Every structure is written in C-alpha cells, then in structure tokens.
Amino acid sequence: MKIELSGRRALVSGSSQGIGLAIATELARAGATVVVNGRDQGKTERAVVEVVGAVPGAEVLPIAADLATAEGAESLRERAGELDILVNNLGIFGARPVLEIDDDEWRRYFEVNVLSAVRLIRLYLPGMIERGFGRVMNIASDSAVATPVEMVHYGMTKTALLAVTRGYAKAAAGTGVTVNSVMAGPTHTPGVEDFVGELVGTDLPWDEAQRRFMKEHRPYSLIQRLIEPPEIGNMVVYLSSDQASATTGGAVRVDGGYIDSILP
C-alpha cells in the first residue's frame, strides 16, 4: 500500500517534540504540508528544522499558540488557514496520587487534554464537511480504558476523548469526513523517560530502567517494550489517507497489545 498525501494540509497540535513531532514527520514524509504547533516559538521553529532534516523538501509551517485557551485556538486558526487533516495530539501527563489531585489540577488536565481538541474540531469540522473531505484524529491512550492508578486524571481525559471522537464522527456522518481516536500505548519520548525515572529511579541505565518499568508498571504489554513515536505516526498517516475512508468513529489501537480486551 502506497499512501500519498500530496496536496493535503495537516495540523498536528503539540508537535514541537515527542509523539507529535513524529506524527508531523511521517505526515510530511507522505507528502502533506504540515503545520507544526507548540506554545514556544523557538521550540516550534526547531521542530520544523527537525522535520525538514528528516524529510528534505517538506513543506512545514511553524505556528506557536497556546491551544489550552480559546484565544490560542482562534489565533492558530487565523494563521493556519483551512485544513484537510487535524491531529489533536496536545496533552499533559504526570504521576499524582488520586487523593492528592485538587480541583485546579483536574480542570487543567481537562482544559489541555480535552477542550483543546474540542475547540479545534469545532473550528475546522464545518469546513471539512462543506468540502466533502476531512480527517480528524484525537490521540488517546491505553489509559482511556486501563486507568493507571498513578495518573487517574490523565486517564480520565483520554476516556473523554473517546466519547468526543464518537460524537463528532456522528456529526460528520455521510459527509466524507472521518473522525477517529488513536489509542497509543506506552511510548518512548523524553517526557516518558522522565516519568520512568520518577517510578523506577534515575540511577539505572536506560535499557534496564525501561525493562523494569514495563515489568512493574505496564506488565500487560505484548511487545514488552516502549512503542517508538514513528509507529504512532504510521497509524496516523494511514487514517489520514483515502484508503481509510471506511474507518470512522473508532478507537484504533497502537498500544503494543497492552489493553487486555478484544475490543477497546
């Protein structure tokens, strides 16, 4: 299968590093023009350099905006123009005993991880429907259905994204626009390296720390390793394509077999 996204314009929120940067790179590799986003202008511009370094000749536009606010979403919309592909990747995570999570932290997680996606879908879905083509993907997580005890607030937001996805897919029914969740499993990013260090200690070599983390904290993974970000990007590229035209309203798993169920 050869996926060709030339002529398509994509936005990946929270793509100055980690999974978002990998998704942006793989979309560019497939030929899409990609808008890279982060809150910091310098980091966003450096991300563009990384994408172009990996994909010479790629068309990549940096737009710094805080998408956890309505003003930031509107600002990005004005500068990015119309889109064919919207990838809501922006998210925060961290370990916290659930009884220590206060109201402000619950609200912050919901604002960043859920409402940032809702706002962008609300801004872009009408145009996609009018043109008869669009691809919306919300980057969810295995934590949406296997709530981790050390970060219940994060799991809650990913569960909410599954409901948001299904609802907007129904709103776009019969229009040529698809809306899906991508359920990423434990993935190797700098942020996750820090998270692993918090849980198993920072004095271990990385390979040993990763093995211990998977054994003690993610034991149900069938691949027994962290997923590499381009593996998430590959699924996003497929769901962005014409070939994925019959896949919508779904929770598509790239979880390394972590979720122990036949269905999400």
Residues with catalytic annotation? Answer: 154
Helices (H), the chain: 18-29, 41-54, 70-80, 103-110, 116-131, 152-171, 190-200, 206-217, 229-239
Question: In this structure, what token pair is assigned to residue 22?
Answer: 């990998």
Cβ atoms of 139 and 182 closer than 8 Å:
yes
Question: What gap in Å lies between CA 118 and CA 47, rounded to an integer?
Answer: 24
In whole angstroms, how far apart are CA 50 and each of 91, 175, 226, 241? 21, 35, 22, 23
Dist. CA 25–CA 188, nearest whole Å: 16
Strand 177-184, strand 85-88: pairing: unpaired
